[in-house]
Chains A and B, each alone.
Chain A
Amino acid sequence: MSGRFFIIALHEGGRIQEETWELVSFARRCGAAGPVMMVLSDEGSIERLAGELAHRTGLDVVGLAGSHLREYSAEAYIRTLVPFFRDASEEEEVHIAAAHTSRGIDFVPQLSIGIDACCITAVEDVGEGSFIRSLHHGRFRAEVRADRAKVVITVLPGAFAPEDIEPGKPGRIRIVPAGDISLSTRSRGTRAPVHANMGLTRAEVIVSAGRGLGGSENIRLLTMLSSLFPKSALGATRAVCDQGWLDYSHQIGSTGNTVSPRLYLACGISGAIQHLAGMRNSGMIVAINTDPHAAIFRTAHYGIVEDLTTFIPLLVDRCLKRG
């Protein structure tokens, strides 16, 4: 890919978000020559953040600084980034990548309109001058090509392994004052998770339910299955919690708990990326689903195509009989 390539590093509580290192791998896969790291913050912390990026990646860093960037808001990011990229000519190829996280997906599409760019979200692979993303619950992938010189991309967390970067000598740092923009959005801080579940994060075995469970009356199947394992807990996809079959403290996924038990039993879970984000580092993943094409079977170590309502009682029965 020709032209300039920028990686926007997001940060929270003074820490660079981990997905940033995956974006460096992504840029390399795109064949970007000398990608530039970008970070936005207030004057008090910009040099430290930019310094960390320059040391860890060896890439050049642009730090955009202004008091309006003390806390994240989409408005603050867009009103800083749009003027920065507007300087590029209409024909110049520019790629801008950020992580497909709740913040990335918040400001990136808005940025694309501001700079007349193409916006491609949740990218998980790179083609010949094209990008690949999942659709239809992970059953298919779409290969898409940008029809604009400027492209902004969100990259799916976990899609590109953070390579061992040997930075050599740190990159050059350029701090650019972004002015002090008065915003119409007021940040009121961050509230701690309402539904953090220590039992879930400590469990060695998690028996987890998706929409395929069918209804709250089948929760007893999960309880039955989990009783075979000491140190086990019940998990669920967001859809199951939305239905009220289990409360949100059981939710596993990008907006819920992140877990890595020794064994993850995925029951009736289709395998949406938001759920995989919360459990893909589990030691062993076993999936039970009636649909042989469910995306979860590509993440699972072992898959069983069966109906939960008959298979779980059978499994428990065989287990008890065999002692």
Chain B
Amino acid sequence: MKILVCVKQVYDSPETLVFDESTGQVTFGPHTVFRMNRYDEYALEEALRIRERLGGAVIDAISVGPARAAKTIRRAMELGADHGIHVQTGDIDSPGAFERAHLIAAAARGRGYDLVLAGVMAEDDMESQVGPLLAAVLEYGCATGVIFEEISGNGREIAVEREVEGGSRECLTLALPCVLTIQSGINTPRYPALSHVLRARSSELECIAASSLAVPPPAQSLVRILPPAQGRKGEIIEGTAVEKADKLIHILREHSLLPRQGA
């Protein structure tokens, strides 16, 4: 069994982003730290568990991104992936889901993956697209939001449960090969083992220039970045901490939401 796990490098905290209103660009500030997308951590962990259950499975981790993305691929190897593939985008910091999916598909095609796993979404763009786009490009089956999986039928199919609204689960069986996007909470991601860390340090990443892969032109373009919409005009309660507490208590009492204590 050959498994491909798609891992994306994202910033650790959106608080370090810098918005330049004159150019409409969001850039990473000097204190931006990058790490693996949390949803992809669950996808990788699920791949590791499949390998433990089945034995003999090989796990490749792939990421599309600039030079710094190599660190996230190494992290995947420290956690237990056998092989790392870096599709290098050079100056393009964060290609869109469409380009990302086509680049992964171009790199993956012909390698005979039985199963492709990705997180249900990326924390930064929140598009939830790469997994299902990739499936369609590769002509693989696909299930999104997977919270349970079990390979069955002598490794020819996989039973999955998808989490849907209100926590119900849609149960289905897909033929392999297929793409699953993994919902958080399906497992508890492990910490790296020292042996894997040492191995990851000494192994080479396979690097592919994105420009060497044939992909279609982008399907959409960014017009501009906007500040958030002004939603409900909520009131920010100001003052010292004590004043804030007292004001809030007053508001809640006015609305009969907070009874007098001991009454």
Residues on A close to B: CB < 8 A?
Answer: 72-75, 78, 101-103, 105-114, 117-122, 124-125, 127, 130, 132, 134-148, 184-196, 205, 228-230, 238-239, 241-242, 244, 248, 251, 254-258, 262-263, 272-273, 284-287, 291-293, 295, 297-306, 310-311, 314-315, 318-320, 322-323
Known A291-B15, A301-B235: A194·B169 in contact at CB below 8 Å: yes
CB contact between B232 and one of A101, A136, A298 (< 8 Å): that residue: A298
Chain B residues within an 8 Å CB radius of A230: 259
Q: Is B213 an interface residue (CB 8 A)?
A: no
Docked CA distance A74–B142 (Å): 8
Closest residue to B120 on the A side, CB-wise?
A105
Inter-subunit contact A300/B234 (CB<8 Å): yes
**Majority secondary structure, B binding face:** mixed
Docked CA distance A287–B241 (Å): 14
Q: In the complex, how many residue pairs between chain A and chain B have their CB atoms under 8 Å apart?
A: 264
Inter-subunit contact A136/B226 (CB<8 Å): no
16 pairs of residues in contact across A and B, judged by CB atoms under 8 Å: A112-B219, A121-B128, A142-B225, A145-B221, A145-B223, A146-B220, A147-B217, A186-B172, A196-B167, A242-B184, A301-B234, A302-B235, A303-B237, A315-B248, A319-B245, A323-B261
Q: Which of A244, A314, A315 has the most CB of B within 10 A?
A: A315
Docked CA distance A120–B220 (Å): 8
Nearest first, the 5 A-B pairs at minimum CB distance are A113-B136, A298-B231, A193-B167, A118-B219, A109-B132
Inter-subunit contact A144/B167 (CB<8 Å): no
Inter-subunit contact B14/A148 (CB<8 Å): no
Closest residue to A285 on the B side, CB-wise?
B234
Inter-subunit contact B165/A135 (CB<8 Å): no
Q: Is B111 an interface residue (CB 8 A)?
A: no
Inter-subunit contact B129/A140 (CB<8 Å): no
Inter-subunit contact B245/A256 (CB<8 Å): no
**Majority secondary structure, A binding face:** mixed
Closest residue to B184 on the A side, CB-wise?
A242
Q: Is B127 an interface residue (CB 8 A)?
A: yes
Residues on B close to A: CB < 8 A?
Answer: 14-15, 17, 19, 26, 97-98, 123-129, 132-133, 135-137, 141-145, 159, 161-175, 183-185, 188, 217-232, 234-237, 241-242, 244-246, 248-249, 251-252, 255, 257-263
Chain B residues within an 8 Å CB radius of A205: 257
Docked CA distance A196–B169 (Å): 12
Inter-subunit contact A127/B223 (CB<8 Å): yes
Inter-subunit contact B172/A136 (CB<8 Å): no
Inter-subunit contact B221/A239 (CB<8 Å): no
Closest residue to A256 on the B side, CB-wise?
B167
Closest residue to A154 on the B side, CB-wise?
B128
Known A239-B184, A298-B231: A305·B236 in contact at CB below 8 Å: yes
Known A118-B219, A298-B231, A298-B232: A102·B164 in contact at CB below 8 Å: yes
Inter-subunit contact B26/A136 (CB<8 Å): yes
CB contact between B137 and one of A113, A272, A286 (< 8 Å): that residue: A113
Inter-subunit contact B245/A255 (CB<8 Å): no
Inter-subunit contact A143/B223 (CB<8 Å): yes
Chain B residues within an 8 Å CB radius of A117: 219
